[in-house]
Each structure stands twice: as C-alpha cells, then as structure tokens.
Structure 1
C-alpha cells in the first residue's frame, strides 16, 4: 500500500545510515528512569515504537551535566558512565525492529521542570523566567566549559552504546537556545553581544561532540522557528542560525519546531502542523536534511509535507503514543484502525508519575500479557454502557476472541465525552469514540443503541452472560433554584446548545472543579453574544486544565470579553425577587448581581443504580464514571483492564 503514501514510505539516507521511511518518533521522555538510568519500562516503550514501523526514533531528552538535573531525577543523565549498558540495550531493541535511534542531549539552563532542583538555575544572563521563582545564576566561562565537556562526555557515551546519532536540543528556550537569543543572552564577553558571539556556545558544543563521533554518526540540531514570545527568536533569526550552522559544517540535519517551555506542546484548540512553513524556509535556505514536527497527527499530512518539499522527515510524538502502530497501519492501508491523538495533553504532559496517554492505556504501563492473545474458550461478555470505558472494554475483550454484546441507553455512543466534544475548540475529543465505534464494528461486537438496562433486565442479563461489565457512566445532579429571568442551567446544557437564542447576561459558576467544562461553557456563551462573568471559588483560574492549554484558554476568554472572578462564591438567595450574591472567600462585603441566566457547574454523580441493585461477584465488573466520575484516561485504562481480564 506504499502507493497511497509513496513519499513518506520511501527510504532516506541520513549521515551514514539508511532509514526505511520518513517518519520520525520525536523526543518524548517517559520518566521511567531511576537515578538517571533508563528502566526496563523505558526500554520497552522505545521497543514498542520501533515495532510499530517508524523509521527513526529520537530518544527523550538526556541531560548532559549535573547542573541540569530535574528535582525528580526522571531524565536520562547522559554524562554518567553507568548509562551506557541501558542505552545499549535500548539501541539494540530498536535496531532489532528495523528502526534507527538518535539520542537528544540537552541542558535545561534556567528552565527547571518538576519543582525546584537542588541545583540553582543557570543561564547565560541572570534574567528570570516568568515560570520560576528565582533569577538564574549567570554562568562563568569555567562553568560554560564544564557544560560543553558534559556534552562531549554524553555524546561519547551514546557512541559507546551503539546509537546512530545525537541531536542537540537548541529549541524551546533551553540553555543552547538561551545563548542564541538576545532576549536571554545579554552577556558582554565572547559568549554574548554579536550574532557570532551568541553562536559561539553552540559551535563549541558541536566541535566537542564531533571530536568523539565516528564517521557516519549523525549530528542534528533542533531549533525553534518561532519562539512565540515578545522579543524572542523568530523565523528570520532561525534561518540565520541555520545558515551559519550549514556553512560551518558538522551538522547532518536540522529539526524545526515552534515555541518555548509552556507553549511548545500544542493542544487541540490550535491548528495542526504549525511549524511546517518555518521548516520549509530553513530547508530552502540551507539545503540540509530537515525534520519537522509539532502536532502532525496523520500520515496524510506527512505525505503532503514531504511531497511538497517542505521537509525531508516528518516527526510525530503524541500521535505515536496514541498508536505506535500508526506507521504500519498507514502503510498497510488500515487507516480506520488507527487510534488518533485527541490533543488534550492531560496524561502525556502530567508525568503522574510518568508518561501516560489519555487514549492508549498501554503507555507507561506496558501491554498486559492477555491482550492480543486469543482465548482458548470464548465467553459471552455483556457490556452495559457505550461511553469510552464500556467501548474500550468491549474492544479489548472482542480482540481476544470473546463474543461481546454492548447496550447503550442513548441513541449514540460516547457518553459524557460527546457533551465535552461540543465545547469550543474541543471537537477532537470525539475522535476516540469514533475510533472505538469503528473497532467494535470491525470486531463484530453486537452494539445495541437506545437500549437501557433496568435492574430487572440486569438480573436476566446475568443469567445469560458469562461476565457483565457495568459502565453506565454519570449523570447530572440537581440544580439550585435561581430567581432569574431565565433561571439556572447546567454547564452540560450550555455545551449541548440548550440556551435561549436571544443573548443576555450570564454568570457561569465553577465552585471547585477547575477543569474544562465551566470554562468551555463561558466561552460558548460569549461566542453567541452573551455578556459573561465567570466566577470560581478556587484561588486560581483553571488549575486542573493542562499547563499548555491554560494560557490560550484565558486569552480566548479575555478576547471574548469574559469577566473573571476568583475566590468568590455565588449565593442564591431564598427570596425569589432578590439578586444573586458574589461572596468573597477572604473579604466581608458581598456584591449583588442580576444576570439573566445562571450557569452552574455541579459535579457529576456516578450512575451506580445497577451496582447497588445487585450483588457483586467475580462475574461482574464496574468501570469508569459509574464508580466515580473522572477523566477520559481513567475510563480508557479501566476499560482496557476489564477487557483484558475477562
């Protein structure tokens, strides 16, 4: 099936080795690391990527010096001699599956991730980032020399481990990028000031690394085409740096991305493939092999990028977490079987305690031994509920060879995810439901829509089925009576479009959730012309929304004119003619407000009627929101385990 994507699935010569195709697994560390050494789980993760058919894997960020260690110690520490055996094992398993492995080396500089480190933040100049509490220590020349030596030692260790190459992380606002940018480099010595001086650190790093690399060993540099911050590096700056690197020699490829820490992992609210125009300019200016990534989610997009000459290689990170078999399935024409990334950044960025994926339960956990293995004796499995938990349980059980019947009370699949997907800019959430629906059809699951199961029905079902999985989801609680012109509605009702066509004024109240739904309701109302005040009793805005999404979300709300009130409660008076009160948590004086509509975010309640009406035993499993309402990732993980264990 290469004819469908002939450019992506053509081989490519990089430095001294061949790649089987143009698809690259971009750096995405697992945090499955102990004291700087990759664990078996980390190695298994990279083996899974290689087995899925990708051409090149760039390993997660590997730090080059002890001054760049995270507090959690969850990045590989390349400068340690002890890292070589584990990295060799990783390279061996990747090669065994026909892929190539390049390591990525980084010093974080002033950017500390995961809390304060025992080390002080360090940077070319003592300019504090808005994300951290303290200004960085300005590196001395001696300290710069030591860090450059760390790059050399780390490269030598990766050579000893049998990797095929190494990439310098000079993007996303980390140390090498801090030297390049006049925004973060205000030195007056040989490492600052002029363009050549700001390039000096990166050039010395390349020279040190090349002093220990054999012929054919690839060396790449990752750059931000746009740093996306006021005064930061822009595409013209990136092209100038790229041209200088190409002229100096020693670099085999350039990897182009966008952003700095906090903005570079683009979520579902923005456009796909944003760095492609930048990569195209760099490739045209330098003639060097060019890799581009950043929210490229499918091989069709990758095919266009390569065919149009925008880049030679196309990188994916989250898309390959969602489905590491994406390359093989695409090449074989099995596009409907690909589990797409929905771009929520909830689990791949949280590292709680390590890498996970909202739609792929195997990431960070490994594949359960029963998954993918046909059972010796098929059973009749009945699943009650067609949300993500029930669908995933049905998929996994059917894939193992069981006869699966699914009942869904509504006339469509998806449960609470379908409501959330109606939120502004969050339509990709429904992709996981669509994927699971396709899989249930392929695996011949008997899906019954508009088929609620009562407590009486459950007794009958339990007499027929060998095992019952209850995944009945959650329901809305009661709304407070509101003495307003248009009363009170739930957040979910707003997202479903159940609000008056004629706009007015509204208060959206989120007492303690801090997640997406109430903010999405405010955005939806503002988009329909309503005058919106958003009120939360929390002391921060959107604390449970993933970090990369908070800034864009609040900017959109601000642009739409939504007023934001933190640390306030909404008090609904008993008097039907009285206004609402906004009561400060830390003050004495209430404020009165008389909106036309109150939008109330009340926690959803697990729909556990069936659980409480029957005695639980080994033939019944409850999963997902009916146990207690949580995120998509919890539903998928519990559905996966249920399907694997029946």
Structure 2
C-alpha cells in the first residue's frame, strides 16, 4: 500500500492517511472575525469526501492587537465559539479531522487594521510588514500567554480535534524565536532556549487548559534563510524542548522568509529542515512547501523527510486535488 495512504496513530490522535491541508488565510470571515457563510462553504468544499485526513484551519487571532489582516478569523472571545462549532461539525461530517491554528501577529500587525499600538519582542521593524513596534513588557508577555491559553480552550469547546500554536511566517512567536527581531536582554532574549521561553510558557498554559489528551501542534518557522537569522540548528534545539514540554506534532515551515523560498520551486522545498528535525524528535513532523504531485508526496514520505505531508496551494486552487491524489495511489 502507498505510504501516503497509511494511517498515523499516536496516543492522542489517529489520522486515516498522511495527507493534510495546511492553514491558508482566506480573508473570508466577517469583519469582526466571526465565521461567515463563505468560510463554511469553503471548508465544506475542501473537505468533501474525507480524502484529507486533517484540515488545519487558517490562523486565527487571539487578541485584537494581534490581528494580522482584514477579515481574518477570530478566536479572541467567547462569542465566536458558536460559529466555530458549525465549522468543526461540517468538516467532521465530511469525515476529516480538524484543528485550529491560533496566532498573534506582533510587529506584523498594522495599526490601521487593529486600531491598537503595534508591539513586538523588541523595537525592531518587521522585515515583512507593519509599523515600528514597541517592545513588550514582561507583564504584557504574561497577558499574551493567558490569551493563547483562553484561545486554545475555545478551540476545544468548539469541537476541534486539536490546536496549533503559530510560530512561523514572521508573526509574534516567530519574532521571539528569530535573533533578527528579538534583541531583548531579559529572560526572553539571548540564546535559543531564552528566545523560546514564551513558547514554553504558552505550551504549559495551553496544556493546563485543554487537558492531557487534547493534541497540541506547533508550527515552527525553522529557518529565516536570512543572514543573522534563525537556523535549522536553532530549530533542532527548540524542537527537542517543545517535545519535552508536551507538543504532540511539529509543523515545519519558513520563518521570516514566510512560506516560500525565492528561486526554489522544488517539491517539498522545506524538506532539508524536516529531515534534520526528525533526527532529534520522536513526535510526528509535517512537511509543506511546493508539493503539488501525489508521487512527490509519496517519495518524501518514503525518504523519511516527514511523517505527514501538507498540500496547500494545489488544494486551494483545485478542490478535487485530494480525491485524485488518493485514488491514484489506491
């Protein structure tokens, strides 16, 4: 049997195959971040038939100040839970599992979107976008940790199968991880283990809220691919700490380079990162990035580059991609 069709089983999660749909922003929510009919229709269409084992819902803001863009989905207050329950029910009815990605944009936020002061780990401009941030105080960091915790509990209450903490693509937790954007001199800055203190605090808080059996994923921007930025060696240290802290799955992508590598259009262009990280952890590792062919997905799994394959843009463009891919391997 095809490796892509093999189930993946952990103590907390069983997936019927190795194909997942990674989080991709749609800008289809209501203006206040509530679930819209367009969101429901979009995820219904993508998950129809249950060919995708796991659908990861696009990044959702935990706090108004951390909103990344207009019409971004919200997980910032209890009023959104009812709409999110409808979303999880639709995907489950289509026989796929689903988790939600929760996020704070940090210095990638813009005042004209949030109406709030832009903040980050340090007063360093974000290479992607955004206004010059103010450096967060220790008390404000504690508050953000609590907002991640509350958001994760809402994800569970809305009926999802797990939660993903977003630390990639130049957003707040990625900003703490990267030495390019984290110039702090306190316990949250300096070496890798200090730069991930906020991550470990969030993982601990989230685990305390959702309980021992609810899967926690973490999306890690495992390299900035920029001079002076984070490297795969940093990420190997971080990945081991995340596993020890209780993360159940690591979802690997780019850091300040975001989700593409300029000039690299190979299938699975982040596979050098996942291959290295797999050497130091025992939890499943997700690979995304440029994968558009089922044979390429199969090869990457057989080469032990990853345990799960995320296919994003191909599924975004063609909702029947997953059906054709799965049926071609049966």
**TM range, smaller chain:** over 0.9
CA shift for structure 1 position 13: 1.5
1:420-569 to 2 correspondences below 5 Å: none
Which residue matches 1:271?
266
Q: In structure 1, what is the Cα distance between the partners aligned to 2:238 and 2:33? A: 31
Q: Aligned equivalents of 1:182 and 1:291: distance in 2?
A: 24
Q: 1:332 to 1:267 in 2, by over 3 A?
A: farther
Residue by residue, what CA displacement relative to the aligned partner does 1:570-617 show, whole Å, maximum 9, x if unpaired?
Answer: xxxxxxxxxxxxxxxxxxxxxxxxxxxxxxxxxxxxxxxxxxxxxxxx
Deviations 1:455-509 (A, max 9, x none): xxxxxxxxxxxxxxxxxxxxxxxxxxxxxxxxxxxxxxxxxxxxxxxxxxxxxxx
Q: C-alpha displacement at 1:190, in angstroms?
A: 1.8
1:28 corresponds to 2:15: no
Displacement of 1:19 in angstroms is: 1.0
User: 1:171 aligned to 2:168?
Assistant: yes
Q: Does 2:12 correspond to 1:16?
A: yes
1:205 equivalent in alignment to 2:202: yes
Task: Please tell me whether the aligned partners of residues 254 and 291 of structure 1 are also in contact (alpha carbons under 8 angstroms).
Answer: yes
1:10 to partner: Cα distance = 1.0
Question: Is 2:200 the counterpart of 1:231?
Answer: no
What displacement does 1:99 show? 0.6
Could you say what the CA RMSD is over the residues aligned between the two structures, in angstroms? 2.1
Q: Shift of residue 322 of structure 1? A: 1.8
8 Å Cα contact 2:301-2:308 kept in structure 1: yes
Distance in 2 (alpha carbons) for counterparts of 1:243 and 1:101: 25
Aligned to 2:55: 57
**Residue 286, structure 1, aligned to residue 281, structure 2:** yes
Match of 2:315 in 1: 320
Q: Does residue 137 of structure 1 match 2:137?
A: no
Does residue 326 of structure 2 align to residue 331 of structure 1?
Answer: yes
Q: Distance in 1 between matches of 2:56 and 2:111?
A: 22
Judged with a 3 Å threshold, the aligned counterparts in structure 2 of structure 1 residues 113 and 58 are, in CA distance, closer, same or farther, namely: farther
Q: For the residues of structure 2 that align with 1:334 and 1:268, how far apart are their CA atoms? A: 30
- 1:91 equivalent in structure 2: 88
Contact 1:14/1:218 (<8 A) preserved? no
Partner of 1:304: 299
CA distance in 2, matches of 1:259, 1:197: 18
Deviation (angstroms), 1:268: 8.2
**Secondary structure in structure 1 of the residue aligned to 2:315:** helix
Q: Distance in 1 between matches of 2:191 and 2:232?
A: 18
Superimposed CA distance per residue, residues 524-559 of structure 1 (whole angstroms, 9 cap, x where no aligned partner): xxxxxxxxxxxxxxxxxxxxxxxxxxxxxxxxxxxx
In the alignment, is the contact (CA less than 8 A) between 1:71 and 1:115 conserved in 2? no
Alignment of 1:180-219 (within 5 A): 180-219=177-216
* Cα distance, 1:138–1:15 mapped onto 2, change above 3 Å: farther
Q: Which has the higher helix share?
A: 2
Q: Per-residue CA shift, 1:186-242, capped at 9, x if unaligned?
A: 112221223332221000000111111134311011112221122111111111111
Aligned equivalents of 1:228, 1:99: Cα separation in 2 = 34
| Mapped partners of 2:60, 2:273: distance in 1 | 26
**TM-score by structure 1 length?**
0.49
Cα 1:32–1:268 change in 2 (3 A) is farther
User: 1:15 Cα deviation (Å)?
Assistant: 4.7
CA distance in 2, matches of 1:240, 1:62: 27
**C-alpha spacing 1:178/1:269, structure 2 compared with 1 (3 Å):** closer
Q: Which runs of 5+ in 1 are unaligned?
A: 336-646
1:133 and 1:173 map into 2 onto residues whose CA distance is 11
CA contact (8 A) 1:71 1:114 kept: no
Say whether the 8 Å CA contact 1:220–1:251 is kept in structure 2: yes
SS at match of 2:222: strand
Residue number among 55, 58, 66 corresponding to 2:64 in the alignment: 66
1:7 aligns with 2:3: yes
Instruction: Kindly state the Cα deviation for residue 272 of structure 1 after the two structures are TM-superposed.
Output: 2.9
**Structure 2 length-normalised TM:** 0.93
Partner of 2:148: 151
**Structure 2 CA distance, aligned partners of 1:193 and 1:310?**
30
Higher alpha-carbon deviation: 275-284 or 222-231: 222-231
Higher relative strand content: 1
Q: Secondary structure at the match of 2:200?
A: helix
Counting matched residue pairs gives 328
User: 1:215 and 1:235 mapped to 2: Cα distance?
Assistant: 29
Instruction: Please list every run of 5 or more consecutive structure 2 residues that lacks an aligned counterpart in the other structure.
Output: none
Q: Which has the higher contact order (CA 8 A, sep 6+)?
A: 2
Q: Rg bigger for which structure?
A: 1
- 8 Å Cα contact 1:8-1:306 kept in structure 2: yes
CA distance in 1, matches of 2:306, 2:130: 39
- Paired residues of 2:164 and 2:218 also in contact (CA < 8 A): yes
Instruction: Tell me whether 1:255 sits opposite 2:258 in the alignment.
Output: no
C-alpha separation between the residues in 2 aligned to 1:244 and 1:144? 20
